[in-house]
Amino acid sequence: MNENLFAPFATPTILGLPAAVPIILFPSLLVPTSKYLINNRLIATQQWLIQLTLKQMMTVHSTKGRTWSLMLISLITFIATTNLLGLLPHSFTPTTQLSMNLAMAVPLWAGTVATGLRLKTKNTLAHLLPQGTPTPLIPMLIIIETISLFIQPVALAVRLTANITAGHLLMHLIGAATLALSTISLPATPIIFTILALLTILEIAVALIQAYVFTLLVSLYLHDNT
């Protein structure tokens, strides 16, 4: 394959204009909605998955924290659909862009911290200094805990970017190896093709798991501040 290894991660353009915004908005069109009293099986399955996910994430939250339910379920739905659409051939995955993941992580993290400062100011500030810290270590530990607090959104974004990007690169390399071996050694092609099929199944699982992990960590940050 003569295509550049990192070509799938370049932002696509239409008539010279970046097409990232339409691509980001497109997954929302794939989520089915219903205005009828009796839903079909697709809508019923979707509602069951939403209720199951909310139950897993929101059981530990207080009443204040549960006001974020719509935000969190929208977040996990968006990331999951975006990751799955990115597995299609010749498609673009916005979650491979660190800038976009930071644009999701930073406001959500800042919202949880602001909520904590507004509702539990004393407890939120107390997280910066572990209980029982010796007096000479207090300034150093406050600096370390403050740095670790500000690293949280960066870790969120980098984790999602690295996992999705690594999977795409691995699929690209094995796909190129399959195409090359098909012209060199025909008996080896089914083996590589089987590995590629198994890797695709793994990437589907990773796409869903990373969406859940990203949202779960935001939920945990919210739990610590409500």
* Per-residue pLDDT tens over the stretch 94-139: 888 888 889 889 999 998 888 888 887 777 777 777 777 777 877 8
Query: What is the rounded average pLDDT of the residues 35-51?
Result: 77
- Does the pTM surpass 0.75? The reply is yes
Instruction: Tell me if 108 sits within 8 A of 75, measured CB to CB.
Output: yes
Condensed to tens digits (0 to 9), the pLDDT of residues 188-223 reads: 777 777 887 888 888 889 888 998 899 888 888 888
Angle at 168 between CA 215 and CA 30, to 5 degrees: 55
Are 154 and 103 within 8 A, CB to CB?
Answer: no
Tokens of 55: 């139950």
Strands 17-18, 13-14: parallel, antiparallel or unpaired by DSSP?
Answer: antiparallel
Tell me how many degrees the CA angle 47-52-54 measures, rounded to the nearest 5.
95
The domain ranges of the chain are: 7-225
- Which residues are 13's β-sheet partners? 18
**Local structure of 14: helix, strand or coil:** strand
**Please, where are the H alpha helices in the chain?**
20-25, 41-58, 69-85, 98-119, 121-126, 138-184, 189-224
Residue-averaged pLDDT of the chain: 80
